[in-house]
Amino acid sequence: MRIVLLGAPGAGKGTQAKKLVDKYGIPQISTGDLLRAAVSAGTPLGKEAKSYMDQGQLVPDSVVLGMVEERMKQDDVKKGYILDGFPRNTSQAEVLDKMLASLNMSLDAALSVDVPFEDLMKRLTGRRTCKACGQMYNVYFSPSSKGDACDKCGGALFHRDDDKEETIKKRLDVYTASTAPLLDYYKGKGIVKSIAGTGSIDDIFAQVCAALNLK
């Protein structure tokens, strides 16, 4: 199964991707996670990416595409993958198509997780992520019962630097201008499945599995 997750920042793509990973054992490839890891490790790529991320801008394609290509060479992607946060604009989608064509592969679905724009701000300002295992929480909707520690592994929870109100506004603008057009791009290929990203995480996951014909 090779799928692309579409949806605005805060739509819950990462949360649903992690549930797919847990249940079906296919890897999630999140360019945001890869970039944050590069920033934490202080690599040259991370240093280049950081200023864009802090401003809520897209990191240049040249940086992201190289990183995705490297990730795609790893063994675990042979059984499929969930692309989360990539592609982020039409030119990245075109490069992905070429990458897949050269491997004689195609995408099975582009799954759009739809959430009303007015809900996104609270979802993003309330978001907390476990430093150790990546599990996500929301202080308003789905807090950890252990406060600042992860329910799953006890790791420390952190608030992403770019989940601050001013940066979120910029990220939503960038989404509207650059990423939302991907919906039409993939509609043109006839592979879009849309689900409502509101309600409980488990209910949304049931819809994800139904849309993807997973048991």
Of 116, 118, 148, 145, nearest in space to 132 by CA: 148
Closest distance to ligand AMP from the beta carbon of 75 (Å) = 22
**Residue for token pair 């604009």:** 89
Whether 132 and 150 have beta carbons less than 8 Å apart is answered as: yes
Whether 106 and 98 have beta carbons less than 8 Å apart is answered as: no
Of 146 and 170, nearer to ligand AMP (C-beta) is 170
Q: How far apart are CA 31 and CA 86, in angstroms?
A: 6
Handedness of CA 52, 7, 115, 140 (dihedral sign): negative
Of 86 and 205, nearer to ligand AMP (C-beta) is 86
Q: Looking at residue 118, what DSSP letter applies?
A: H
Of 64 and 204, nearer to ligand AMP (C-beta) is 64
Burial string for 131-165 (b: 16+ CB within 10 Å, else e) reads: eeebbbbbbeeeebeeeeebeeeebebeeeebbee
Of 55, 56, 3, 59, nearest in space to 31 by CA: 59
In the complex, residue closest to ligand AMP by CB: 32
Closest distance to ligand AMP from the beta carbon of 40 (Å) = 13
Of 31 and 138, nearer to ligand AMP (C-beta) is 31
The β-bridge relationship of strands 127-130 and 28-30 is unpaired
Of 24 and 52, nearer to ligand AMP (C-beta) is 52
Closest distance to ligand AMP from the beta carbon of 157 (Å) = 16
Of 3, 8, 12, nearest in space to 199 by CA: 12
Q: Which positions are annotated as active-site residues? A: 13, 88, 127, 160, 171
Judged by the rule CB under 6 A, the positions of this chain that interact with ligand AMP are 9, 31-32, 35, 52-53, 56-59, 64, 85-86, 88, 92, 162, 171
Closest distance to ligand AMP from the beta carbon of 176 (Å) = 13
Closest distance to ligand AMP from the beta carbon of 215 (Å) = 28
